[in-house]
Structure 1
Amino acid sequence: MSEETELNEDSNDKEMGTPELINKSVIKATVILNKLGQYPQGITVTELAHDVHMSRPTTFRLLYSLEQTGFVERYDNKYMLGWKIARLGRLADPHSGIVNLIQPMVQEFANHLNELISYAVVNGEGDFDLILEVSGSRWYALQSGIKQDLPLHASVTGKVILAELSDDKVESLLPEKLPALASRTIKDRGEFIRHLQQVRVQEFAIIDDELEDGLFGVGIAVRDHTGKLIGVLAAAGPKQRILSQSIVHIVSQLQNLAKEIVEKIEQA
């Protein structure tokens, strides 16, 4: 198909309209940008056209337009993402899309369990953003980038994240004496590291009168298709009410929900 034919088809689509009001040129440009993200060292227009299944003239036209606006850069006949993409990335909320994707299924699970359900995105070693909390018929999207007051040593989210690290790394992240927040908070770093070894074996974490008295929580790791830890899914509520149920059953339900979350995110 020639560039002229494709342009005519785009023009006809605009004149006639589509039910979704989709502009094909915009869609094609986003496809190209997504593909360029896979080639940080750059790719030629011919190679890119082959990868995105577009004609070379159309690919070149879109690349040239994107280059004029700073979204694409060219070096030695190779194209790569431009500086403006990086700038937009810094301005964007990295988690708002995830909240919109997973909120309905998390809400449904919270209604079923009738407890507080939370989801945290893991950013790195000992670093996370709590982006969603759901309880009963209400849900809260927490502002991205603001660290929530969940201590690493006394929350299921923190325990799951730290269990991913080596004992030496955990030792470097935590003080020798850990702050006491409730009657059963683990205060000795060595004892806490031994506790993490149990978390690794059983593949879930619990808190029991550790963050606050009377609060019991269960948390699991959420992993992508490569096995990388991308989030933590947790359920928490009054100790007596949570323990009236089977912890193993709650963990199983959380694991099923985690699989649904990963599928939803990766298909988006």
Structure 2
Amino acid sequence: MSTEAAGEEIRSRGFVTSFARGLDVIGAFGPGAGRLTLSEVASRAGLDRAVARRLLMTLVELGFAESQGRRFALTPQVLRLAQAYLGGAGLDRRMQPALEALANRLGESVSLSVLDWPDIVNVARAEAADRPFRHALAVSARMPAHATASGRVLMAALSSDAARAHLAAPLPRYTPHTVTEPDALMRAVAACRDAGFAVLDGELEEGFASAAVPVADATGRVVAALATSSHAGRRDAVALRAEVVPAMLATAREISALLV
């Protein structure tokens, strides 16, 4: 929702509209929109051109954006915002050796994801050294939470009320196997919570299965999901459950020990 539209809602007394609009401007950039004109930024952020221009100029002066003729682009300085989150959550480079060891053991790519409903967002990944990965997902890639094993695990970490609140809006169906009905999803989330892991078979893409386990911090709070996926020709859902999940649970415990 753009800040202009959000402005119609009741805000707290501490809400800073200009700051929210600045975040909307940063959010206007993304895949396929790396360099935007002022008009494009204003349109994508839902802002007046004059407001968008002042915010862009502020970001340029702070080093978070740069001007390239008529177009603007974000700079690597924006990554400081992501680093602040990852460092605060403990999901930093300390995790990488464990992820790489697991990827090489499984012969599959592995990732750490967090919940940003309706998506999960990859915050770290590793690939097996001896296997080409033409479809490996990059860090910051998003996938639908309801159709992924990571999403199932992260939803299971929520209270039942919070999880059900996410399911109020209709969810897209990606394959005939995608679970979209709220009650069925709630049962699947409860089963995941009881089992301590999730294995999904063809819910996001036919012929692919995925597995995920929770990663908790020192207080027991789930902060991420550790996941992998495989084509059925290599490992099907049954093999993931029997062969892969135990190794993932061990790695999750190793990562959790670092989150102090």
TM-score normalised by the chain length of structure 2: 0.58
Is the aligned partner of 1:151 residue 2:135?
no
Distance 1:91 1:114 in 2: 29
Counterpart in the other structure of 1:94 = 85
Counterpart in the other structure of 1:199 = 192
CA drift of 1:215 comes to 0.9
Contact 2:155/2:163 (CA < 8 Å) preserved in 1?
yes
Distance 1:155 1:103 in 2: 22
Identity between Structure 1 and Structure 2 (%): 25
- The one-letter code sitting in structure 1 at the alignment partner of 2:125 is E
Which residues in structure 2 correspond to 1:123-142 (within 5 Å)? Answer: 129-137=121-129, 142=138
Instruction: Choose the corresponding residue for 1:254, options 225, 248, 252.
Output: 248
Unaligned 5+ segments in structure 1 are 1-88
Instruction: Choose the corresponding residue for 1:187, options 141, 164, 180.
Output: 180
Contact 1:106/1:117 (CA < 8 Å) preserved in 2?
yes
Distance 1:217 1:196 in 2: 15
Counterpart in the other structure of 1:120 = 113
> In the superposition, relative to structure 1, how do residues 99 and 226 fare at CA in structure 2: closer, same or farther (>3 Å)?
closer
Contact 2:210/2:229 (CA < 8 Å) preserved in 1?
yes
Counterpart in the other structure of 2:161 = 168
Q: Which moved more, 1:242-251 or 1:113-122?
A: 242-251
Q: SS of 1:213's equivalent? A: coil
RMSD value over aligned CA atoms?
Answer: 3.0
Distance 2:168 2:114 in 1: 24
Q: SS of 1:230's equivalent? A: strand
Distance 1:91 1:158 in 2: 20
- The one-letter code sitting in structure 2 at the alignment partner of 1:95 is L
- The one-letter code sitting in structure 2 at the alignment partner of 1:150 is M
CA drift of 1:227 comes to 0.9
Q: Which moved more, 1:186-195 or 1:165-174?
A: 165-174
CA drift of 1:174 comes to 1.7
Contact 1:110/1:136 (CA < 8 Å) preserved in 2?
yes
> In the superposition, relative to structure 1, how do residues 183 and 112 fare at CA in structure 2: closer, same or farther (>3 Å)?
same
Contact 1:131/1:141 (CA < 8 Å) preserved in 2?
no
Q: Deviations over 1:108-131 (max 9, x none)?
A: 2111101121112457x8775411
Is the aligned partner of 1:222 residue 2:224?
no
Instruction: Choose the corresponding residue for 2:229, options 203, 224, 236.
Output: 236
Distance 2:102 2:118 in 1: 27
- The one-letter code sitting in structure 2 at the alignment partner of 1:118 is S
CA drift of 1:178 comes to 2.1
CA drift of 1:106 comes to 0.9
Distance 1:248 1:238 in 2: 16
Distance 2:257 2:161 in 1: 33
